[in-house]
Amino acid sequence: MLSTQTLARATARVIARPQQSRIALQARRFASETSKATESTFVKEREAVKHHAAESSELWRKISLYVVPPCLVLSSINAYNLWNEHWEHWKHMPALEERAEYPYQNIRSKNYFWGDGDKTIFWNDSVNYHKRDD
């Protein structure tokens, strides 16, 4: 035998099903309408991003092709001229042995453990000179 409680539950389910299906149908319709609106918004946003990216990449392409090479050529010419001026000036300097050596130059607290102990790692014999106090 069915109890009244079981019968009440079954009746409630039968009555609730059409209501649930109507709610589910309305939810599906709302979701599809919302997804269409969201989808069109998303598509528009993606198109705007693509358009902006195309403009930006075109700008940087033009800069790379039309601005950078002339700047490199001009800076190379400038560096070459400065290099030549430097060595022209260097030719007029007195010989290394005749130059004054100031107290703050070539300070050695102890000898280096390579070579004769007087020359640093970056020593250049044509530019550097050290008068040793023997």
pLDDT, one tens digit per residue, over 55-99 is 999 999 999 999 999 999 999 999 999 999 988 887 888 787 787
Q: Is residue 6 part of a domain?
A: no
Residue 107 lies in a domain: no
Distance in angstroms (rounded) separating the CA atoms of residues 87 and 90: 5
What is the band of 37 on the pLDDT scale with cuts at 50, 70, 90? low
Per-residue pLDDT tens over the stretch 115-128: 788 888 888 887 78
130: in domain: no
Domain count of the fold of the chain: 1
- Does residue 133 have a pLDDT over 80? no
Domain hosting 50: range is 12-79
- The whole-angstrom separation of Cα 97 and Cα 40 is 82
Q: Domain for residue 117, yes or no?
A: no
